[in-house]
Copies of this chain bind each other. A is one copy, B any other.
Amino acid sequence: MSDSSKSAQKAPRHNCDTCDVRHKAMCAAVGHEHTDQLQAIVSHRDYSPGQVIFEEGDPADYVFNISDGEVRLYKLLPDGRRQVTGFLTPGDFLGLITESSYAYGAGAIGAVELCCMKLTNLERLLSDIPPVRERLLDMSRDELAAAQEQMLLLGRKTAREKILSFLLYRHKHLDRTDSDASIDLPMSRTDIADYLGLTIETVSRTFTALRDEGLIELPNPHHVIFPDLDAVRDAADAA
């Protein structure tokens, strides 16, 4: 992780003023006149691929913003079955807390950098700078809508529809390199399966089937190219 950051590091490494995800994060609601207060309460931590950030039920003192990398959220059943409830990307808020402990587990997919904030400091920030609470409410509104959409996927879509919806969601929200019709999938097949309520075998078979139909190209398991995006959209909707 020594040189994984996107820009040169002569300037103070973690500077809220120059943070390139600030506009996407809750911090966007902190006016520049309050940047000092924000800067004073954040610290940063690095995680290596696969590392657990926290487990569901851990007592929660900190909340986080994703600075870099991708994070999986998950819940476990006593026998080990796992449901991945979401993937977080830079700018996303991490740390849903109920009854003083985390409501889900979180783990680094690749190398991850988090911007950490003590819960007590967040609470002070919320009372000092009201727009931050407004911002958090807006963000959780979006999360709630995404959760509803995911319930529709989990409860009512076929394996094929699940995969297609997942790919399109990634394309829409994460890889907006203009008209580039391709996406990265940094997570494993196991993560995808646990996110979509499938097994790795079904995920793999479905990818193969979509490739054989010409709907996608798979130069490697972590990169998908869409030769015809509209055809994928049609296939995702159709009954």
Residues of A with Cβ closer than 8 Å to B?
A: 73, 75, 77-79, 81-83, 85, 96-98, 103-104, 126, 130, 133-134, 136-137, 140-145, 147-152, 154-157, 194-197, 237-239
How many copies of this protein are present in the complex? 2
Q: Is the CB of A142 within 8 A of B77?
A: no
For the complex formed, measure the closest distance between the CB of A128 and the CB atoms of chain B, giving whole angstroms. Answer: 12
A83/B145 contact (C-beta < 8 A), A133-B134, A134-B133 known:
no
Q: Is the CB of A147 within 8 A of B151?
A: yes
Q: Is the CB of A77 within 8 A of B157?
A: yes
A152/B75 contact (C-beta < 8 A), A130-B130, A141-B140 known:
yes
| Complex: chain B residue closest to A103, CB-CB | B145
Q: Is the CB of B82 within 8 A of A156?
A: yes
| Complex: chain B residue closest to A197, CB-CB | B155
* Alpha-carbon gap, A130 to B195, bound state (A): 37
